Amino acid sequence: MKRAGWFDGWFFAGEIAGAAGTGGGVDGDGGGCIWAGGEAVCAELVGRLRSGDKAVVERAARTLKKISEADGAALFPWYKALIDDAFRATDVRVQWNLTLVLGRLPLRGRDKAVVVDLMFERLRDKSGLNRTCALQALMDLSVNDVALRRRVRPILDEFVENGTPAMKARAKKLSALLRDDARG
């Protein structure tokens, strides 16, 4: 199994995806991080979201996003801290990354409702990329939630009609996925 690499105390996000692809470090219960020793790395990264150093926080959020891309449930043990940090985040780069992370978590009940509310709030953000990431997160959260999907559909249509170029492109891609889901 490929081991995670460290450089200047930082985990290389590219190696996370490589570790995920090996399948060697996955624990059998579906929770936790995606490679042997990954839980300690994830805990460290989540802790670094509270650093006073803006660059440290940005790198931690970006790396957590990479982990969630490889395995959406990998960060579930830290979901409460991630939700809290997403609400506290003022840096737009941290907001983008944590928005996508939260959308990939297998949340239910009140925790999911809180995250959905945050995403609807982010849809009103001045940053087009923040709005685009919030739409993606809402779509991810609505995969097995028909009621939420019904709430998101008109927003998706609005993005296609009136969004920035990036928003339109993402909304068209998500609309195509919805059509594919409806067919098959």
Q: Which is more confidently placed, 3 or 39?
A: 39
Alpha carbon of residue 86 to chain centroid: 10
Q: Stretch 155-167: mean pLDDT, rounded? A: 94
33: confidence class by pLDDT, cuts 50, 70, 90: low
Confidence at residue 36, expressed as pLDDT on a 0 to 100 scale = 62
Distance, in Å, from the CA atom of 157 to the CA atom of 26, rounded to the nearest integer, reads 38
Kindly report, residue by residue over 131-140, the tens digit of the pLDDT. 999 999 999 9
Residues 45 and 11 sit within 8 Å (Cβ to Cβ): yes
Residues 16 and 63 sit within 8 Å (Cβ to Cβ): yes
- Is a pLDDT exceeding 70 seen at residue 3? no
Distance, in Å, from the CA atom of 176 to the CA atom of 89, rounded to the nearest integer, reads 32
Place of tokens 């990036």: 166
- The domain locations on the chain are 9-105, 107-184
Q: For residue 11, list its beta bridge partners.
A: 6
Alpha carbon of residue 64 to chain centroid: 8
Sheet strands (E) in the chain: 6-7, 10-11
Q: Return the closest-CA partner of residue 57 out of 96, 106, 15, 109.
A: 96
Q: Stretch 102-107: mean pLDDT, rounded? A: 97
- Is a pLDDT exceeding 80 seen at residue 181? no
